[in-house]
Amino acid sequence: MKIKIAIFFTLTLLMSSVFAQEEINYQTETSIHYYSKDIMEGDKYMQEMCVVDFYYPKNIVNFPTIVWFHGGGLTGGKREIPEYLKNKGVAVVGVEYRLSPNVKSLECIKDAAAATAWTFRNIEKYGGNPSLIFVSGMSAGGYLTYMVGLDKKYLAAYDIDANEIAGLIPFSGHAITHFTVRKERGIPGKQPIIDEMAPLFHVRADASPLLIITGDRDLEMLGRYEENAYMMRMMKVARHKRVRIYELDGSNHVQMMYPALPLLLREVKTLSKEIMSE
């Protein structure tokens, strides 16, 4: 009897979800430049790469927005709108950014900041709430999430306080200096360093809420769980009031993205409700 009741309520919830989704219309705009024409003038690579795809609900307002950075080690990958995040009442900005070795890794971070700034400056005209902008990404995208949210100088270049980001949700990102940055400097990939290009260098108490997600420590890329666990611990030492880490047992570095996406969406919805009720 309990099983039948559970099935009935599950089907009811699913049908309610379907009908709710049908009430919202979504649109995607592609290849939107996030730098001005003056900045990109004469640079074909910049014109090709510095774009976003923007997926958003058309007939609701004050929706949350997720700025999403793809993975690929800062040397590969393409912008994406994760399928799981579609039809969920949120907007997604899928960011393309320039890649090493075509540019130095520093330019990847600057591109990530420029795309985030574009979101802050434009989201209201689409109906979104600028107080509900979240930043997230996978692997290299997690590193970019950290750097844009913790090193305040990148967004300050656009007169934006990084603390205005509603939440930072990096997926398995480097907390130490990224291995591609180290490679550019001739430093071996197994030699960890922490300098101004490391998220850990920018630990501070007043940063936006931080939810860190990694794969299984025994299946992850070398040290990736441990450096993120250290990030969580040092943020707490610095008296940051809202930092957590989730380790996804049984998932390696690639697999962890799929169970992490529901956690991202839950965090976005939880923080959005809190912000809207303030």
> Residues 204-228, buried b or exposed e (16+ Cβ, 10 A)?
eeebbbbbbbbbbeebbeeebbebb
25 Cα distance to chain centroid = 24
All domains of the chain in start order, with CATH = 25-277 (3.40.50.1820)
> How high is the pLDDT of residue 35?
98
Question: What per-residue confidence (pLDDT) applies to 22?
Answer: 57
- Consecutive sets of 10 residues in the chain, 278 residues long: mean pLDDT of each? 37 40 87 97 98 97 98 98 98 98 98 98 98 98 98 98 98 98 95 97 98 98 96 98 98 97 98 95
Q: What pLDDT, on a 0 to 100 scale, did the predictor assign at position 23?
A: 87
pLDDT digits (tens, 9 = 90+) for 175-207: 999 999 999 999 998 999 999 999 999 999 999
pLDDT digits (tens, 9 = 90+) for 43-83: 999 999 999 999 999 999 999 999 999 999 999 999 999 99
Residue 20: the pLDDT is 44
CB 116 within 8 A of CB 155: yes
73 CB-near residues (< 8 Å, 6+ apart) = 139, 140, 179, 180
